[in-house]
Structure 1
Amino acid sequence: MKKLNPEKLTVEFRPYVTPLAPICPRVYTLTHSDITAELFLTMGSWIAYDKVTSMRDEVVGSWRVENNCYYFSVYVYIGNFGQKETHLRDAIFRRELPLALEAIFYGDRQFLLAHPPLAQAPIWIHFDSEDPAFNKWEYWGKPLEYSF
C-alpha cells in the first residue's frame, strides 16, 4: 500500500462545513491528478460535482446514521465497460482505496479528533456497477485503521 504524502494533499471546505461540524451532512469528494500524483479533498454538504471528471475515478464518502449508529459510507463507480475494463477499474479502486481512505481521514483529522466515536465507526464501500459480479457492498474496517 502506498503511504500518504501530506504535502500532496489539498483540502477544501465548502460552505456549511467546518473543520469541526456538522457530522451530517458531511460529504467528501476525493479526486487526484495522474500527472502530479496530487490528491484533492473537498468537504461539503453534497458531492463536489465540479471536481468530478468524465473518468469517474473519484471517491465519495459521507457519514450516515442507521439505528442511532454512525457509519462511513463510500461510493466508487466501477461501471460496466466490458469485462476486461470493468475488472481493471475494480482492481485499481481496490489497490488505491487504502490511500484514498487515509487521505480522507488525514484531511479531516481535526473533525475525527473532535468526535472520537467516529474513529470506531464501520466503513462500508459500495462498488457500483451494472455488472452484478462487480456491484457489491463491502466492510473495510474503521477510520482508526487508516492512520490519521
Structure 2
Amino acid sequence: MTTLNPQKLSVTYRQGVTALHPVICRKYTLTHSDETAELFLFVDHQFATDQIGPMRDEVFAEWLQKDGACMLYVYVFVGNENIDKSIQAIRYTIFKKEMPLALQAIRYGDQMFFKRYSPLDSAPIFVHFHSNDPNFHTIEYFGTPSMYA
C-alpha cells in the first residue's frame, strides 16, 4: 500500500463546513495532480464537481446513515458505454490499488473530525465502483477509517 505524504495533501473546507460539523451531509471530493503527486481534499455539503477532471479519476465519499448506523460510502467512476472494456479493466485495477491511499487522505485530512466523533473510526466503508460492465460494477467493503489512520 502506498503511504500518504501529508505534505502533499491540501484540505479545503467549503460552504460552511468546518473541521467538526456537520456529520451527515458531509461529503468529500479527492482529486490529485499526476505531475506533482499532490492530493486535494474538499470537504463540503455537496461534492466538488467543479474539481472533476477529464480523466474522471476523482474519489467521492459521504457519510450516510442506515438503520441508525453511520457508514462512509465512496463512489468512483470506472466507465460507461463510451469507455472501452479494456480501459475500464485498467481503471478498476488502479482504483482498487489506490483506494487505501485515498482513504488515508480522507482520514488524515479530516483528522479533527475523526477525533471529535471517534465512533466513526469504526464505521464501515463501502466503495461503489460505477461501470456499465457488470464485471467492474461492484460495491466492496474496505474496512473502517481506523485502518487508514
Question: How does the TM-score come out when normalised to structure 1?
Answer: 0.98
Structure 2 counterparts to residues 20-99 of structure 1, below 5 A: 20-80=20-80, 81-99=83-101
Q: 1:106 aligns with which of 86, 105, 108?
A: 108
Cα distance in 2, alignment partners of residues 118 and 16 from structure 1: 21
Q: Which amino acid aligns with 1:142?
A: T
Separation in structure 1 between the aligned mates of residue 85 and residue 132 of structure 2, nearest angstrom: 11
Q: Deviations over 1:57-83 (max 9, x none)?
A: 000000000000000000000013222
Per-residue CA deviations over 1:93-143 (Å, capped at 9, x if unaligned) read 011110000000100000000001100000000000000111010111000
Aligned partners of 2:16, 2:128: CA distance in 1, in Å? 26
Q: Distance in 2 between matches of 1:42 and 1:72?
A: 15
Percentage of pairs with the same residue: 47
4+ aligned runs moved over 2 Å, structure 1: none
Matching residue of 1:136: 138
Amino acid of the residue matched to residue 9 of structure 1?
Answer: L
Q: How many angstroms apart in 2 are the aligned matches of 1:92 and 1:26?
A: 26
The amino acid of 1:25's aligned partner reads C
- What one-letter code is carried by the residue in structure 2 that aligns with 1:76? V
Structure 1 residue 54: Cα displacement: 1.6
Distance in 1 (alpha carbons) for counterparts of 2:132 and 2:37: 29
Offset of residue 26 of structure 1:
0.4
> In the TM superposition, what is the alpha-carbon distance from 1:16 to its structure 2 partner?
2.1
Partners of 1:2 and 1:133 lie apart in 2 by 25
Q: Distance in 1 between matches of 2:85 and 2:48?
A: 29
CA RMSD, 1 decimal? 0.6
Unaligned runs of 5+ in 2: none
Instruction: Give the total of aligned pairs.
Output: 147
Which sections of structure 1, spanning at least 5 residues, go unmatched? none
Aligned mates of 1:94, 1:142 — CA distance in 2: 16
CA–CA distance in 2 between the matches of 1:49 and 1:123? 22
What secondary structure, in the 3-state scheme, does the structure 2 residue paired with 1:16 have?
coil
Counterparts of 1:140 and 1:37 in 2: how far apart (Å)?
A: 23
Aligned-residue offset at 1:51:
0.7
